[in-house]
Structure 1
């Protein structure tokens, strides 16, 4: 497992624990007490570190290389072998940065849509680091419309540093594609549940983020701009990214306080990568609870609830 800079005390204790176990195995000496004391120290240290994370540290955790990505989450929450990925926007191409398809969660049919990053260098290039082109947003909209036709709930999983900023994306109408998705999602006649599972940046996130309910995993962020980009605009360099993270109010607690999201999904101590099955169980529980609740809504009530939710955001002075 990789450790971030602020996690080094945990790494040092984990190394001590491994050495303690190794000495016991090789020498035959009973090291259970010593190892148990180190385990207790690890738990205490983790609570101290992860219970007092700064906004920038939470941003770092959301980008942890071992953190589960969209396809990992899908595999962890759907019924075995039930995910059928659908491809293409029926206009230009298939976008590997935006994935989607039909699946079942405890027998309930759903349409899953999300941004997918890559782990290896080759895969990161293929997925463009989770930054979608216009055809990705158009594919997502096509799948949403398909779900609406068959009255299937839509689940969107957001983990993107933003929409792809390349020349070809602008040539094919990046802004129009995102704007179209936002408009269409406000009137979609089926439940939409959005979960920020990693990074939620800018229009790249909002293009699949207009949900009846919007949730964030505990160690994620959601903002109009990334801290580094904000720092580069205001201070002309990236050195003030921590100050920018503080000022942007991008953590789940900030978002919940301002009523931009509806809830925070708990992660295991240390982050989702420490115990992925527990993370998946928490996500699955939230999804199923919301699907059950929205079954009581009519099409008109679904649309009205979603629109009222976003219209109520922000403060305005006459």
Structure 2
């Protein structure tokens, strides 16, 4: 069952009406098929028009949707033979950042990404996708493996930001994020990153400093959350919609600015309405990008990364 966002209430009312009609028609000889078709078309049209005109703040809500597919969903529907690897060889294992060997369209890759969880228990276990230093150090270890075995790196970014707790700072959060970013930039193999939900602050950049950066259609990517920005500028989180508009957090804005390279379309109504379809679309897009990169010399992919980030904001 869909969990509806505030701006989806008109769609929710229509779909509720359709469900009531279906239930009332069970065992009844009255033919209501024409009425159902009319309402279903009206609902589909309303959903399409609503999602065609989303504001940046509404896109932020979609990116955070509780039913939006996360790392494990993409592993299940887009990748094969995933072999997870745990631990950073210094402190422990961080379940907010997962990774290991995987196969994409027959190609072996190193896959790394944030996992938020999909219910209360798993969200707590994965710390809502907020990585700790050991998570970023695990990512560095996996990138080192990728370099040694000559495997492309694919990352799926979905985090509100790195974990800001005292224990994370005690274990060197800033240094771990910086080292992870450095590891991305120094990779001798191709790297393709995708913002699949939220791309928040350095916690996202640490896994997204690639030569090709993709975004799902309704994902967001920003240096700080809209609520955080509003709290700093206006002393109230209620100004988050205005902050989201000013920060240009959407895939469409960031493509124009050159921050990302490609937008991967989502099903009408968002990725949560058809996770399998969006996973297949993302797999196709990543595979196409890797096809264009895998035969390039190491020096070329490093230079592409360097030039890409030096040109931002020019």
Normalising by the smaller structure, the TM-score range is over 0.9
> How far apart, in 1, do the equivalents of 2:312 and 2:261 lie?
12
Residues 164-201 of structure 1, C-alpha deviations (whole Å, 9 max, x = no match): 00001111111111111111211110011000000001
Q: Which runs of 5+ in 2 are unaligned?
A: none
> Number of aligned pairs?
313
> How far apart, in 2, do the equivalents of 1:120 and 1:78 lie?
23
What SS class does the counterpart of residue 26 from structure 2 fall into? helix
- Specify the alignment match of 1:312 in structure 2: 311
> How far apart, in 2, do the equivalents of 1:237 and 1:167 lie?
24
- Specify the alignment match of 2:217 in structure 1: 218
- Specify the alignment match of 1:62 in structure 2: 63
> How far apart, in 2, do the equivalents of 1:32 and 1:122 lie?
42
What SS class does the counterpart of residue 246 from structure 2 fall into? helix
What SS class does the counterpart of residue 189 from structure 1 fall into? coil
Residues 194-246 of structure 1, C-alpha deviations (whole Å, 9 max, x = no match): 00000001000001111110000001100000001111111112110101111
Q: CA deviation at 1:120?
A: 2.0
Residues 24-57 of structure 1, C-alpha deviations (whole Å, 9 max, x = no match): 2231211110000001101110122101000000
- Specify the alignment match of 2:238 in structure 1: 239
- Specify the alignment match of 2:72 in structure 1: 71
Range that drifts further, 19-28 or 113-122: 19-28
> How far apart, in 2, do the equivalents of 1:119 and 1:268 lie?
20
> How far apart, in 1, do the equivalents of 2:51 and 2:258 lie?
24
- Specify the alignment match of 2:277 in structure 1: 278
Q: CA deviation at 1:304?
A: 0.7
> How far apart, in 2, do the equivalents of 1:308 and 1:201 lie?
23
What is the CA RMSD across the aligned residues, in angstroms? 0.9
Alpha-carbon contact 1:201-1:226 (below 8 Å) kept: yes
> How far apart, in 2, do the equivalents of 1:26 and 1:14 lie?
21
- Specify the alignment match of 1:183 in structure 2: 182
What SS class does the counterpart of residue 303 from structure 1 fall into? helix
- Specify the alignment match of 1:108 in structure 2: 107
Q: CA deviation at 1:107?
A: 1.5
TM-score scaled to structure 1, two decimals?
0.97
TM alignment of 1:122-137, pairs within 5 A: 122-137=121-136
Alpha-carbon contact 1:222-1:250 (below 8 Å) kept: yes
TM-score scaled to structure 2, two decimals?
0.98
> How far apart, in 2, do the equivalents of 1:38 and 1:88 lie?
52
Alpha-carbon contact 2:82-2:103 (below 8 Å) kept: yes
Alpha-carbon contact 1:20-1:34 (below 8 Å) kept: no
Q: CA deviation at 1:23?
A: 2.2
Alpha-carbon contact 2:143-2:183 (below 8 Å) kept: no
TM alignment of 1:131-280, pairs within 5 A: 131-280=130-279
Range that drifts further, 93-102 or 103-112: 103-112
- Specify the alignment match of 2:49 in structure 1: 48
Q: CA deviation at 1:123?
A: 1.8
TM alignment of 1:282-293, pairs within 5 A: 282-293=281-292
